[in-house]
A and B are shown apart, each in its own frame.
Chain A
Amino acid sequence: MKIAVLMKQVPVSNNVSVDPDTHALIRSSSEGMINPADLNAIEAGIILREKYEGEVVAFTMGPQDAEKSLRDALAIGCDEACLITDRALAGGDTIATAKTLAKAIEIYGEFDLIMSGALSTDGATGQVGAMVAEYLQLPHVSEINGVDFADESFQITKKFQNNIVELSCEGPASVSVCFGVNSPRLATLRTKRAAKNKEITVYTNRELQLAEQEVGIAGSPTLVVDSFAPEYQKKAKMLLGTPEEIAEQMKELISIERGKN
């Protein structure tokens, strides 16, 4: 089974700066890490590979620095990695990004399953996975909780309106994986060292051959009109008194909060 995992390098800290003109996040100002939900997608992919053999290939689009997160993905257990990087691709919205990723996957080879994290911790649009599927004309199931393979189809579980829904989907297919649905395995010092020496495929727009007006800022119809940090408010209140008095205060607070719904 050949699995592609789309992953994103996100800032470790929430303390990122915002471009005053474009209102886009300036990600270079912070240390990067693999988006947490993408780690769940990688784990789900590795579990499938361990069960059915094959390989897991991590894809990411970003600056050269995103190679660090790809090496982390290799250290965790991905077999191969592909970095899509080019100044011409910078500043792309979800449409331009999805178009670029889809093209890279197409060039890289055939895949049975394309996986991504359901949401990123920075942009949190949750759109790219489904858009890639659309560009590749694949069926897509969003925000899944689990995936297996049986009867020549992917058996997918997802939560929908407080119910667990089971779906069957023929491959090749695409899914986005919810954060926290599994426990991502950790790299070790040994696998980190091994990953350092692995070859990473690098695609620029020279390989992708996408028209300039289709990618990067030029290919992005999205207009961010504003972005701002939420107002920071310290609202913690210490409850004081005997255990009984504190319990009484908590009971009252809960009843007030309930009343708000």
Chain B
Amino acid sequence: MGKKRIGIIGGGISGTALGYHLSLYDNAEITLFEKDTIGGASTAKSAGTVCLFDDSLRNRYWDVRLYGFESYLKMEAEEKGSAGFDKSGTLVVATSEEVESVIKTGIALTKAAGYTGEYITDKDRIKEILPDICTENILGAGYTEDDGYFDGTMISNTYAKKMQKNGAVVKIGVGVSAVNKENDKITGLITTEGIDYEFDYVVDCTGPWSKFTGEMVGLDVPIWHTKASAFFLCPPGKKLSYDFPVLKYPEFYALRAGDNIFICKSHLSMDLNNPMHAGQWDPDKLPATGGTDDYFIDFLLDQLECKVPGIVDSGLVSSWLSYRAEPKDFLPVLGETPVEGYILATGYGGNGVIEAPAASRDLAKLIMKGESTPLLEDWAFSRLMK
């Protein structure tokens, strides 16, 4: 079988997960280009929550969630810390019957897969899990102690190591300045070092940069940036007396980060038509820390005051702003484009850590065997051209 030469642009969770899954095929000749560091930028700023049930990804994509979760558990089992797993458990709060129904279905799927999960309506029991929560105006909460959050940077580096072990080449500190094509067919790319590479496929795994990357082949990648304004809080009294689980409300989520608590407005509550929430910006201009808008402070303060009042007076240790890459339906953009050989693996939005393993598994199959999958059909670029 002839070799397939594949160039991957971007060394975040998307690029490294794809690189690893491609490297499992003997006839894949892979080179990954990362202009900065592996698992940096938006991957490093990801919360990394992979919860067995929450509203971040619809239950119809349960296999995507489970494949991601179990891929990382396997990684951790092979080498402790390689996926940065913090098994904090997750409490998903039901504030409406619609959310309650989603949680209950998620719990059923979780239990069927052999993990624990319970839907709790006893408010004292909910307060036992999260003493600082206000249980007024909630219907109940789903809880599992089996999941938590992972470290996107660690995972990306582990995938990068694994793909290198399988023979792939990873170029760090090397950007891509041009993508070459002839008659609307990809022929290769040119790096910022001025070196020409020939490829059969070039895969855009650049997330928030995809708009600019796509322009190199004349493609308008239909993604917007939504602001991920994250705040790190130091609880009153400096240290919590209990283990803070991943906490999910439809409007925001929180998790422990060492002795601090990380909070962020959820990506599905962002409105692409609201210029405070979304736009098309230059990710290169993002500061490493800070850069958040007062709007998000007001929003999260209002949320915490009524939902988790026990932590509302926490000290604000730091904050950062990241851009999520979101198509208008908040689902990834995967697979072929009108430019033959130019493949997209972008638009994961706030779900890159959850979705990248399953999406990369299927995308690798498409590239190497030409076989599509129901997931790729669902998340195809063509859906956004209608």
Contacts and interface: CB of A to CB of B under 8 A. Distances in A.
B316 A189 contact: yes
Interface string B296-327: 01101100100000001111110000000000
Contact of B316 (A31, A186, A196): A186
B288 interface: yes
B72 to A, nearest CB: 27
A13 to B, nearest CB: 6
Contacts of B301: 189-190, 193
A196 to B, nearest CB: 6
Given A192-B297, A193-B298, A186 B290 contact: no
B291 interface: yes
5 closest residue pairs by CB, A with B? A186-B315, A31-B287, A189-B301, A31-B290, A187-B316
B288 A12 contact: yes
A34 to B, nearest CB: 12
Interface residues of A, number: 15
A33 B316 CA distance: 14
13 contacts: A12-B289, A31-B290, A31-B291, A33-B290, A188-B316, A189-B301, A189-B304, A189-B316, A190-B301, A190-B312, A193-B298, A193-B301, A196-B294
A190 B233 CA distance: 12
A87 interface: no
Contacts of A31: 287-291
B143 interface: no
Nearest to A75: B316
A64 interface: no
A13 B286 CA distance: 12
Nearest to B296: A189
Interface in A185-208: 185-190, 192-193, 196
B209 to A, nearest CB: 19
A213 interface: no
A189 B289 contact: no
Interface residues of B, number: 20
Given A31-B287, A31-B289, 14 more contacts: A12-B289, A13-B288, A31-B288, A31-B290, A75-B316, A186-B317, A188-B313, A189-B231, A189-B297, A189-B316, A190-B312, A192-B297, A193-B294, A193-B298
A30 B290 CA distance: 11
Contacts of A30: 287
A185 B317 CA distance: 10
A12 B287 CA distance: 9
B297 A193 contact: yes
Interface string B229-240: 001011000000
A20 B233 CA distance: 40
Nearest to A183: B238
A187 B290 contact: no
Contact of B300 (A185, A187, A189): A189
B316 A13 contact: no
A113 to B, nearest CB: 26
A12 B231 CA distance: 17
Interface in B241-300: 287-291, 294, 297-298, 300
Contact of B314 (A13, A33, A185, A188): A188
Contacts of B233: 189
A185 B233 CA distance: 12
B287 A13 contact: yes
Nearest to B288: A13
A184 B189 CA distance: 51
Contacts of B289: 12, 31
B288 A185 contact: no
B315 A185 contact: yes
A189 to B, nearest CB: 4
